[in-house]
Structure 1
Amino acid sequence: MEVVKGEEEPKKFVVEEWSGSSSTKLIRTATITTSPSSITIRRSGSRFNQIWRRILQAFVPEGYPSSVTPDYAPFQVWDSLQGLSTYIRMMLSTQALLGAIGVGEKSATVIGATFQWFLRDLTGMLGGILFTFYQGSNLDSNAKMWRLVADFMNDLGMLMDLVSPLFPSAFVFIVCLGSLSRSFTGVASGATRAALTQHFALQNNAADISAKEGSQETVATMVGMALGMLLAHVTMGYPLAIWLCFLSLTMFHMYANYKAVRCLSLTTLNCERSSILLLHFMKTGQVLSPEQVSVMENVLPLWTTSWSSKNTKFLHTRVCIGVRVSSLNHQEMVRLRESSGSHYEKAKYLLLEQKGTVNIVMHKDSVAADVLQAFLHALVMANLFDEYKSAHSESYSWMDKHYQNLVVKLQASGWKTERLLSPSIIWRADWVSPSDKID
């Protein structure tokens, strides 16, 4: 705002109007000049640009791009493309499913179709509850992998719907399998989406990001349904064309999902990212950035690769956190007691090597920082087993010298060190150090 003053009293009052959700993206839209006898408004910028900016505000978070992480835009582009292909294929699979339950046939009964649809939905609901029970607490620890798995299960579910008319005798069974597969998708996709939204939010704007994603998904849904109906109409009566379109779109869907998760540079520490960071730090003394680690980490399930789990890239697979003490035999308990030394007087965990695997026993009073320290210590021990026979003492020495420096460098590189994203730790223990006195 600018005030033009005369020698004795104000003659003109000039106000500039600016528009924009972020102070770094403000655009002047008008200049208003008032005097005792008149008012003048001078517009700035084209009206088209103003309308376009208003429309864009319905689809991108407020303050974009400074309010979100740099990987937000490429991820959303690929995510919208995979969603578009999903809705197109959904029209093809739904058309086949409705035809299989008798829609359009005089011989079909309403009660029969209703029962089949109810049984399909019921199976999906039960499947979602079971999947949440077994894996719900583990989805945060590997959001990239579970997002790919979720979309693969969705593809499998739609494939079941498309296949179901080919096997009338097993129709209900196949349809229920498809619904079960999609129920896994709903749980995994929703949970990983929540984790990614928190990652994108730089200004505590997770709710705004989620809302704008809903707008993006709505547009993708409408366009996908329109194209899907057109494709279903064109390919009606041509099974080969239907299958060719479906399989082509499915391949593109999986490719788009893979590209989407590859765009992500998560700053949270999970088991694999911690392993990559630690190995590099032990070799060079430097910490990789989230962008560098995102290129190196594996986004596919380990069973999809032919590599051995003992590969250094998968060092985290040689660590088991939250071991149940009662599952250890007498010899292992003796070794656990013997290995506990002065280091454990301060630590809230115990380490036990067993057949190349490092087991972690967490103390019942341990907190998130203790879990992270225990896991990194176990990784150090697992890495040193191939070089030193006395890996226990060597790992203790390494932790005493380098652990605090590692944490400081991780924080300086943008990593969040408040906690380790790991599978739930169900079993904990309490113990008395050999140096403690018991009254």
Structure 2
Amino acid sequence: MAAALNWVIKDGLGQLGGVLFASYLGTSQAFDSNPKKWRFVSSLSMDASTLMEVCSPLLPGYFLLIASVANVGKNIAYLSASASRAALHNSLALSGNLADVTAKAGSQTILASMLGTGVGCLVSPIIGTEWVNVAAGFTVCSVGHLGACWWSLKGVALKTVNKERGGIIVSNFLSSGSVPGPDVVARLEPFTPFGPKPAPWLRVGCDLPTMTKSLAALKDMMEETGGEDWIIKVGDGGEVRIAYMKGVKGEDIVRSMLHGFIVKDLVDKGKGEDEHLIRER
């Protein structure tokens, strides 16, 4: 009964953690705006959870805690992968053939699983049951898994523009005068949870309280943007914030990001100058 109860607690906590994770991110539409990032996070979460399970024999007294946390990570990985996979498949459905793309991706997954099972059966007798050998084998597989995931995501050109892709488009336009295509943006887009991000000083989609709490200041900002569907503000530390009116179009969002880049350039060049002069520029 105690063993059965431990397994029920472990599985229950894992499923609850996955549900809480999905409900938290579902409100921000993060899976739709950056599916590559969350697909890679899914792979990281799966490998980290598996590593915890591999290490659990070293701490038998904490098995329930380690197994529960690992199960939470696995559920997060499953949910992140399934949610982001839908957006990635949609970008590959060039002629509305989403069902066909999903079926082919599913068949590839089954084939990879079969090949992995076969390789595992062949390699397991060689590795044995020694923890050091198991950890070494896991490390090799994990590096291969993450490398293949990263390489495959680099080749997916998404149809939508988020802050990262918009930043790449605008910065390339300002530096070269040309707009990069989706394939170029896909190669330049950062989607790992670590590393430098394009335009970390730019915040898009801000709510009004973060822009101003004064109606007079709000009116001034609306006049400064010349009747556009957005307002822009330079915050402390040179942070540029952009808020949008209801019903703003995608092309207006890209134009607002261009506006933000130009404002940031003027602010950096005009540090120490009068704020009114920078606004006039």
Find the counterpart in structure 2 of residue 384 from structure 1.
Answer: 266
Larger radius of gyration: 1
Partner residue of 1:207 out of 96, 99, 110: 99
1:169 aligns with 2:169: no
Partner residue of 1:265 out of 157, 163, 166: 157
Find the counterpart in structure 1 of residue 128 from structure 2.
Answer: 236
Find the counterpart in structure 1 of residue 22 from structure 2.
Answer: 132
Alpha-carbon distance change, 195 to 223 in structure 1, aligned in 2, over 3 angstroms: same
Alpha-carbon distance change, 139 to 384 in structure 1, aligned in 2, over 3 angstroms: farther
When structure 1 is superposed on structure 2, of 169-178 and 357-366 the one drifting more is: 357-366
Helix, strand or coil at the partner of 2:91: helix
CA contact (8 A) 1:339 1:392 kept: no
CA contact (8 A) 1:280 1:288 kept: yes
Helix, strand or coil at the partner of 1:154: helix
Deviation at 1:193, TM superposition (A): 0.8
1:349 aligns with 2:230: yes
**Where does 1:388-427 land on structure 2 (aligned, <5 Å)?**
388=270, 390-394=277-281
When structure 1 is superposed on structure 2, of 244-253 and 279-288 the one drifting more is: 279-288
Distance 1:278 1:361 in 2: 18
Partner residue of 2:111 out of 215, 219, 237: 219
Alpha-carbon distance change, 392 to 296 in structure 1, aligned in 2, over 3 angstroms: farther
Partner residue of 1:253 out of 122, 145, 151: 145
CA contact (8 A) 1:140 1:195 kept: yes
Distance 1:392 1:262 in 2: 39
Where has structure 1 moved over 6 Å in runs of 4 or more?
none
**Which one has a larger percent strand, Structure 1 or Structure 2?**
1
1:159 aligns with 2:51: yes
Alpha-carbon distance change, 266 to 361 in structure 1, aligned in 2, over 3 angstroms: closer
Aligned-residue Cα RMSD (Å) equals 2.4
Distance 1:140 1:383 in 2: 30
Letter aligned with residue 127 of structure 1 = G
**Where does 1:354-365 land on structure 2 (aligned, <5 Å)?**
354-355=235-236, 356-365=238-247
1:387-437: CA deviations, max 9, x gaps? 35645444xxxxxxxxxxxxxxxxxxxxxxxxxxxxxxxxxxxxxxxxxxx
Alpha-carbon distance change, 371 to 280 in structure 1, aligned in 2, over 3 angstroms: closer
Find the counterpart in structure 2 of residue 278 from structure 1.
Answer: 170
Letter aligned with residue 117 of structure 1 = W
Distance 1:318 1:338 in 2: 23
1:319 aligns with 2:205: no
**Where does 1:272-311 land on structure 2 (aligned, <5 Å)?**
272-301=164-193, 304-305=194-195
1:187 aligns with 2:70: no
Helix, strand or coil at the partner of 1:214: helix
Q: Percent identity?
A: 27
Q: How many residues align?
A: 273
CA contact (8 A) 1:344 1:350 kept: no
Deviation at 1:325, TM superposition (A): 2.5
Alignment gaps of 5+ in structure 1: 1-110, 395-439
Letter aligned with residue 378 of structure 1 = G
1:52-108: CA deviations, max 9, x gaps? xxxxxxxxxxxxxxxxxxxxxxxxxxxxxxxxxxxxxxxxxxxxxxxxxxxxxxxxx
Helix, strand or coil at the partner of 1:261: helix
Deviation at 1:206, TM superposition (A): 0.7
Helix, strand or coil at the partner of 1:361: strand
**Which one has a larger percent helix, Structure 1 or Structure 2?**
2
**Where does 1:69-88 land on structure 2 (aligned, <5 Å)?**
none
